[in-house]
Amino acid sequence: MGKVYLTGAGPGDIELLTLKALRVIREADVVIYDRLANPEILKEAKNGCEFVYVGKEDGRHIMPQDQINETIYQNALKYDSVVRLKGGDPFVFGRGGEEAAYLFDRGIKFEIIPGITSAVSAPAYAGIPVTHRGVAVSFRVVTGHESPDKESSQIPWENFKTDDTIVFLMGLHNLPKITKKLIEVGKAPDFPCAVISRGTTQEQKVIIGTLENIVDKAKETPTPALIVVGKVVELREQLQWFEE
């Protein structure tokens, strides 16, 4: 019976992979990886390492989460060292907690290796700090995958009226609903926001707008992408560096 390393791959730039993540990848007998993990990372694995792709895209899953959980478990029975490689951080909307609980219930040892989350790093590469003295003293990270019109939504939309910075992950397809909901709860239509596509990679694209026009501006934007809502977006004019 082996050990599973639930490992964050970071936001895309391979140089943002942590040293600990790199070490366990190089020692792994099998790497079970998702769509958001930079494929270049797999080249760091040793000869003979097996690879299992369990990626998910909006509306199309290679395998459901229950099957992914079981795949990780079965590989832990077969191999000494199993790396479950997940884009960003495993515990930031990565379902890492569910996978860890599944292993715990079956007596499998596991370790969590945090990764740099795109919620902070992608805005940083876009020249948008999620906090800034005199502008924003807090930020909130929200799933953008849940529909704002969902009857049993867990998103506390009424609280967002006074939030300094809001970062929505996986929300591009729901952008029209998100902007509409934020205006309904009291955000000004001209409130600044940004869409960051493929952040921290050479394909990074940043669209700046307002709640009332960002949907039109961000049409045809490729995924993965995140949404930043807040006055900090206006700092990009001074702080953008990556595109240079």
Which active-site residues does the annotation give?
A: 34, 56, 170
Radius of gyration, CA atoms only, the chain: 19
Q: Are strands 139-143 and 192-197 parallel, antiparallel or unpaired?
A: unpaired
Q: Edge to edge, what strands does the sheet with 225-230 contain?
A: 139-143, 165-169, 225-230, 192-197, 205-210
Burial 6-42 (b: 16+ CB within 10 A, else e): bbbbbbbbbebbbeebeebbeebbbbbbbbbbbeebb
* Alpha carbon distance 144, 184 (integer Å): 17
Max alpha carbon distance in the chain (Å)? 56
* Alpha carbon distance 190, 205 (integer Å): 21
- Residue pair 83/32 in contact (Cβ under 8 Å)? The answer is yes
